[in-house]
Structure 1
Amino acid sequence: MLLCAAHLGGVDNVQARDRARSTKFDNPGIVAPLPPRRPVELTLGRPEQASTPTARTTPAPAEPEGLIGPPACFATFFERGGIALPAASESGSGACTIAEPVTFRAISMPDGSKTELDSAITVTCAFAVEILDWVREDLPGIVAREDGKLTRLAGVGGHACRPRNGVAGAQISEHATGNALDLFGLRLADGRTVSLVATDTATRSLRESLKTSACARFRTVLGPGSDPSHKDHLHLDMRQRPRDYKICQWNIE
């Protein structure tokens, strides 16, 4: 009998609680808030996409073919005025492999003009950025002091799979890994070509300024007076040496 009484008591309590709930929620004066309507685009989408932002409808600009490697350097290349071409069909192998190669033949200048190269070169992206900075930031001011405007880099050379100075058995050249540039001269808008290996006094001041600029920018500068292999052109590279040692050998005559 005690169990039955307890049971009846429990039933009475449940019924009382239900009556209280009914009284509370059946009162017409109380309106329960409704959740906001579900957006149509989310209702029609897959459940796993409901909480994600709508996908971008405008396609991203296509990158030139042949850019290989992390995109950070290539973004910098484009920001600094680089105009990339499809990569060369052969960008090296083995000891002559180029890391993150980029091929270009023109540079967009700060004033909106373009400086062209005699021929397209393929170098590492990091070295390409160094070239762009030098051409865009240093060369225009140096040439302007001689009442000129830069339009072209003459006698350029980039990747070349060969030993240093072309000597068989010598250490591999920085050109082999796309870390070097050869340059003969600068062509100006008025038709003049300033040879970097000239001996005329008319361009001496300009060449001295170019040497100061190049030696501040690059880790290796070899020109006339350094060795027989560089008597007729300027060699620039970013070879890293112990204790950040740099070489600047270019006799201005």
Structure 2
Amino acid sequence: MRRSFPLILLSLLILTGASLPKSGPIPTEKPPMDAGTEEAVPTPDRKPVAPPDDSKGEAAKKPAAADEQPATDKKPAADEKEQRADEKKDAKPAPVVYPPVETEDPADYAKCLTDLKSLGTTFVEAKHIDDGKGCGIDKPLEVTSILPGVTLAPKGLMRCETALALARWTKETAQPAAEVAFNANIKIKALNQASTYICRLRNNATSGKISEHAHGNAVDIASFSLSDGTTIAIQPRDEDGTMDGAFQRAVTASACLYFKTVLDPGSDAAHETHLHLDVIERRNDYRYCR
């Protein structure tokens, strides 16, 4: 059956009048190439050459991220603290600026001299003192006697205001207290001082505020010499029931009427052997008495 298929097909074509084409389609010829040229043959891209396997080296060349920096690039906190401490140690301290010696008001100074002379105080005007570091007295007085018959032993340098407060206190309260405590005929013959003007800090410390002694504002009284030859030494007497104790407590309390600062043996260990009296100015005329 398969072999007879062409015959059947031919018979059908004859019966229907169909005819076969004289020739089949002619394929288009390939256009000729220009002389001296060759057809471009696509060339595959060359495979890139892989870099050598040097991951360690590349990693070393690649900059590390901020949080991947080697530990040696970061200064430990302890080292930073030590560095700051060293810098602080090496830093020079700021120079200390001391105030200049306070200048006396001419009118006040003249009045003070007049009042001091009227009390019978013996003194001479000394030269201006400026020892640096804030120490000095503009117009110092060298006092030898507080009142007539009452010497300052030894003589001392101080401001006129200090000398005037000392003279008034001696005349108006210390001398009357001695007469009441011991005998009406007994007088104070000398105020024995332990310090007047001296350039130093408070309580002879190595640091802190400057002493009022360095401004001529203070005097330390170590004892009273009486006309009968006895001496009343300043010492702790809060529990002393004798007349010596009563006298010391009386003159200490009364001193606060004349001086802005009064420190006795009960104030601290630095004043166990003397009375510290000074005329430092305080706000509202405040007094510090201990």
Short-chain TM bin:
0.5 to 0.7
| 1:96 aligned residue | 135
| Cα offset, 1:79, TM superposition | 1.3
* Aligned CA distance change for structure 1 residues 198 and 228 (closer, same or farther; 3 Å): closer
| 1:196 aligned residue | 234
| Root-mean-square deviation (Å) | 2.2
| Structure-2 separation of matches of 1:72 and 1:79 | 11
State the number of aligned residues: 178
Give percent identity, aligned residues only.
Answer: 31
Question: Aligned AA for 1:140?
Answer: Q
| Structure-2 separation of matches of 1:209 and 1:217 | 14
Segments of structure 1 that go 5 or more residues without pairing to the other structure are 1-67
Question: Aligned AA for 2:159?
Answer: T
Question: Aligned AA for 1:129?
Answer: L
Match of 1:80 among 104, 108, 119: 119
| Structure-2 separation of matches of 1:102 and 1:218 | 18
Offset from partner CA, 1:60-100 (integer Å, 9 cap, x none): xxxxxxxx95533222221122111352x673333112132
Q: Structure 2-normalised TM-score? A: 0.57
| Structure-2 separation of matches of 1:72 and 1:211 | 27
| 1:55 aligned residue | none
* 1:136 equivalent in alignment to 2:171: yes
Q: Is the 8 A contact 1:163 1:169 kept in 2?
A: yes
| Structure-2 separation of matches of 1:72 and 1:214 | 22
| 1:171 aligned residue | 209
* 1:230 equivalent in alignment to 2:271: yes
Q: How does 1:113-124 map to 2 (within 5 A)?
A: 114-124=149-159
Offset from partner CA, 1:187-218 (integer Å, 9 cap, x none): 10101101121545321211121122112221
Larger RCO (alpha carbons 8 Å, 6+ apart): 1
| Structure-1 separation of matches of 2:286 and 2:220 | 21
Q: Is the 8 A contact 1:106 1:116 kept in 2?
A: yes
| Structure-2 separation of matches of 1:193 and 1:240 | 32
| Cα offset, 1:115, TM superposition | 0.3
* 1:127 equivalent in alignment to 2:162: yes
Secondary structure of 2:206's match? Answer: coil
Offset from partner CA, 1:121-150 (integer Å, 9 cap, x none): 111111111111111222211000121211
* 1:248 equivalent in alignment to 2:289: yes
| 2:189 aligned residue | 151
